[in-house]
């Protein structure tokens, strides 16, 4: 696959994950809203990685590492950087029973709505960067 095809692949599945985050919000499955917001951002950054590095992104879920290695970090606003930090634990904590109980207490409808809005903003921003 060429670079353009790889970028499209990552953006397509990021969009699918964002749709899934919204579906989870609509069914009050808040734990998975955070998880799929993380997945959306991760895959968006991997598309950006292909754009700037022109090779396979590292096999990691670490958003901060991906942002750094893709050369996206210097472009992040403070609020987008905060979003990455906020989403980082949601990928791991959603998977392990000992963390789920505590995590579910913090993920309310309003918190999840805000996470989705911020994730949508980030996703649209990445797409705009890739158009240039």
Q: Cα(32)–Cα(62) distance, rounded to whole angstroms?
A: 18
Please give the average per-residue pLDDT across 94-98, as a whole number. 62
- Is residue 85 pLDDT above 60, yes or no? yes
Please give the average per-residue pLDDT across 100-128, as a whole number. 92
H/E stretch holding 26 reads helix 3-26
pTM of the model: 0.93
- Is residue 89 pLDDT above 90, yes or no? no
DSSP annotation of 73? G
């Amino acid at each position: 696959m060429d670079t353009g095809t790889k970028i499209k692949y990552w953006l397509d599945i990021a969009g699918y994950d964002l749709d899934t985050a919204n579906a989870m919000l609509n069914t009050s499955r808040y734990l998975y809203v955070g998880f799929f917001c993380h997945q959306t951002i991760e895959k968006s950054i991997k598309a950006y990685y292909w754009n700037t590095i022109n090779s396979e992104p590292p096999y990691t879920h670490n958003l901060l590492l991906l942002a750094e290695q893709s050369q996206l970090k210097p472009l992040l606003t403070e609020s987008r950087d905060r979003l990455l930090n906020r989403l980082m634990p949601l990928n791991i904590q959603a998977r392990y029973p000992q963390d789920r109980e505590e995590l579910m207490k913090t993920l309310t409808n309003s918190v999840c709505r805000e996470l989705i809005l911020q994730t949508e903003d980030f996703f649209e921003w990445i797409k705009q960067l890739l158009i240039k």
